[in-house]
Amino acid sequence: MSGYRALGGYYDRLMGTDVDYAARAAYLLSLFARFGSRPTTLLDLACGSGKLTRELALLGLDMTGTDASPDMLMQAREAVAGLTPEVLLLQQDMRALDLNDTVDGAVCTQDSLNHLCKTADIAAVLARLRLFVSPQGLFIFDVNTPYKHRYLLGNNDFVLEEDGLLCLWRNRLEERTCTVRMDLDFLEEQPDGRYERVSDTVVERAYSLTTWKKLLADAGFELLSVFADGTTDTPAADSDRWVLVARNTRAAEEYYDKVNENE
């Protein structure tokens, strides 16, 4: 799984400025309501800088956020500081998710699952979610589409810039697996006028809807619907991001039987 060793410190400055986190939180909750769910406890899986976690908490949810990156979690702690009830933040690899209790539902955004480049890793995440999302609870997540990887990211290069910070972004596509390797060079201006260079590499893989449906079903989740990002519309052929809504099909009786076995 690729991470955010250097990118964690620059993510929101360069890539999060166009995200309306308050609107995103409201959109996600509208999807829960659309499928008859009104969670009070929610997991933000791969919560990153915590800005979405914060907005969901401000909407009244009891939030838990997990992320593998200590740099991202440092930003998340700042984002949720002072909120009541206190947001629980945990440094965890999503494949080894381990919560103290179940949650009513879970979200995972900003194409975080695309960083898992093996289906076995996604299966591991879903297996853990099935344990910790309450029976019949929803898991809502977004992913980059194969179209985006092949035609928008592809073998293209980009330059991102803001005051005192420049990012040179070079992509290389592996067509067979629809995997994009992103080599990132950050040039940040220092107080003395010099520029310090930091490099990072991020790898993402896009999967077909057929693959997502099978992975979810194998893990005990029913795929309820797929939307074009930010909407309740059916995705077009050139949609760059899908939002998937899946239900944990585990029955309450099965959950309580497991609990009793472990006591």
Give the relative orientation of helices 21-34 and 51-58 as an angle to the nearest 10 degrees. 60
111, 204 contact by CB (below 8 A): yes
Q: According to the model, what pLDDT value does residue 200 have?
A: 87
Q: According to the model, what pLDDT value does residue 9 have?
A: 58
Q: According to the model, what pLDDT value does residue 15 have?
A: 59
Residue numbers in the chain where pLDDT is lower than 50: 1-5, 259, 263
Q: According to the model, what pLDDT value does residue 161 have?
A: 84
Q: According to the model, what pLDDT value does residue 212 have?
A: 98
If we measure between CA atoms, which residue out of 72, 148, 91 comes closest to residue 114?
148
Q: According to the model, what pLDDT value does residue 260 have?
A: 52
pTM (2 d.p.): 0.89
- Domains in the chain, please, with CATH? 7-144+207-262 (3.40.50.150), 148-205 (2.20.25.110)
E strand or H helix at 244, and its extent? Answer: strand 241-248
Radius of gyration of the chain (CA): 19
Q: Cα 61–67–94 angle (5° rounding)?
A: 100
